[in-house]
Structure 1
């Protein structure tokens, strides 16, 4: 929005041309989202407290979590608001990729909002029934997949990029639709499962988004993409603004979500954040790198799958409790120790993911 205004004013004052630079706009995107989160955070927390929109805690969970009961939730509204405002202010709104990410954030945020609304306001412990949640997630993901596939004009847009192999770029064809679906829906639910401790989900999200800002920049730059032997996809560099908005909004939310948390993001935040990371990975053709950098999300999801599968097949549980962060809590690890160690793992995995761009 402000890009259009700056372009118009440039004809009168050439100094406004500075806003055409992606690096400046990415910095302003971070700062805008961060400011929005820090400014409106306390107001939202007080509003949620007045409305008695508090977290419910499972009876079979770690005893240390009982004190969290009643902590304001649905704070993801703050994150999504900051992301959308910052993106709409500083991104080039003629870019279709920007609008795809905006749509995914809004749609998955709405699904999460309905789920949270049913749980904490209507006091329905089941929230949005699982089959309906997956139905709406699937519908949004399929619509996005078909749109991207039908509007693709370059072979690179539907090629599968395999890490460590610069010449392995198989064309996916219709398999692109299936991959896009699973990446978006899978990442959305993986982040949702990870969001069980104070700050546990938001920091890996920030780290992965920051890494994708770098990847989006080099993917949309013909010189850098050629140097790194990755597909050049025009216009993906504008996704840097979306990624930096996620970083800024996430940092602002972490201010209130760090241990002991003053607010939780709820499904409205976790489902949308996971989905937007998934769609960005699809747009820059780095689904495998997302799998590496988001290893903490993968680990949490796999622990739940193994736990459920083992109990159904053998009647035994592998972990004391799933997702796996609860397993370590029940082993006696203090919550801050679990959180920080998972953050450290996430930093390592993000660095490994970035290294795959060069090691080819």
Structure 2
């Protein structure tokens, strides 16, 4: 517990102490988020810096690598490396995406195909790393038990990493929304890691939760900085890989139900409009529908955080 407190403190200090300098640097260099023209009126947010995720991801990695538990055994080192590569590679993809938006002064960075290719290459990298480190290619299915997927494991890993990174990316549409929900879900996985006796995930999660708390100081409504795709893609990839390492892959569908609903709302909206030229929701992702209904960002955040917290409490008691 002493080491977990220390890693928490290091990540929190780096994020809280470093964010004002990041904000100042981005403002001076004119690196500011471009507000989407379609959707709710967020013109008041114009000029807000983005890419805050770069700092809290960096703080997480630095704090984790400072801890002896990350190297105390080959297994600990293996799992720490997998976590860092997963989060770091998707943060890099998000960082390129954010940079392209800033360079082009547009609300879109990567085109769909190049972005999917980059995410696929990251999934291949993760597969090769896990194969080299002799991580068993199995998933645990409720009421069935461990199932060895063999070569099909790659397709599962690809779907899980790409799917969850994009799900959290879609959720990141309001100040504080993703940071708060992700904090709760990572908290749930921290409890599962503690019960499983996994010090690597414990250490990493204490660092990441501290970094997210520090980021929320600057990201709560009205945000002084956004996390950008750098943070949102990394958070989803981290949850995906942790669920696999803890042999609790499908539990993420419960803990991350808010992310699932956000994604489904976009899929349903796109399908309905493309084939029937009708919108099911006033706007998707669904958090924007609540905005259309007149809810404030704080009200939407509180509602989504509360749902995620209830899911987490039920989940850790049922799964545990």
**Fold match by TM threshold 0.5:** yes
Note closer, same or farther for the CA distance 1:125–1:196 as it changes in structure 2 (3 Å cut): closer
CA distance in 1 between counterparts of 2:129 and 2:81 reads 12
CA distance in 2 between counterparts of 1:352 and 1:131 reads 38
Give the corresponding residue for 1:184.
161
Is residue 41 from structure 1 mapped to residue 9 from structure 2 by the alignment? no
Give the Å deviation of 1:62: 1.0
CA distance in 2 between counterparts of 1:121 and 1:353 reads 43
Q: Which moved more, 1:87-96 or 1:200-209?
A: 87-96
CA contact under 8 A between 1:83 and 1:242: conserved in structure 2? yes
Give the corresponding residue for 1:145.
127
Is residue 110 from structure 1 mapped to residue 110 from structure 2 by the alignment? no
Give the corresponding residue for 2:6.
28
CA distance in 2 between counterparts of 1:319 and 1:333 reads 15
Note closer, same or farther for the CA distance 1:142–1:264 as it changes in structure 2 (3 Å cut): same
237, 247, 268: which is aligned to 2:209?
Answer: 247
CA contact under 8 A between 1:218 and 1:237: conserved in structure 2? no
CA distance in 2 between counterparts of 1:103 and 1:150 reads 14
180, 184, 188: which is aligned to 1:203?
Answer: 180
CA distance in 2 between counterparts of 1:325 and 1:314 reads 23
Please list the CA deviations of residues 30-67 of structure 1 after superposition, one character each: whole Å capped at 9, or x if unmatched: 1111111110011111111111111211222112x110
CA distance in 2 between counterparts of 1:357 and 1:49 reads 45
> May I ask how many residue pairs the two structures share in their alignment?
315
SS at match of 1:170: strand
CA contact under 8 A between 2:70 and 2:80: conserved in structure 1? yes
Give the corresponding residue for 1:161.
140
CA distance in 2 between counterparts of 1:186 and 1:73 reads 23
CA distance in 1 between counterparts of 2:286 and 2:240 reads 22
CA contact under 8 A between 1:118 and 1:128: conserved in structure 2? yes
Is residue 130 from structure 1 mapped to residue 124 from structure 2 by the alignment? no
CA contact under 8 A between 2:281 and 2:289: conserved in structure 1? yes
Give the corresponding residue for 1:307.
269
CA distance in 1 between counterparts of 2:161 and 2:96 reads 19
Give the Å deviation of 1:150: 5.3
CA distance in 2 between counterparts of 1:41 and 1:101 reads 23
Note closer, same or farther for the CA distance 1:292–1:209 as it changes in structure 2 (3 Å cut): same
CA contact under 8 A between 2:78 and 2:133: conserved in structure 1? no
Give the corresponding residue for 1:292.
254
Structure 2-normalised TM-score? Answer: 0.94
Q: Write the mapping of 1:1-360 to structure 2, written as runs, cut at 5 A.
A: 23-63=1-41, 65-90=42-67, 91-93=69-71, 94=74, 95-149=77-131, 151-152=133-134, 157-163=136-142, 165=143, 168-219=145-196, 221=197, 236-358=198-320
Give the Å deviation of 1:333: 1.4
What are the ranges of 5 or more consecutive residues in structure 2 without an aligned counterpart? Answer: none
What are the ranges of 5 or more consecutive residues in structure 1 without an aligned counterpart? Answer: 1-22, 222-235
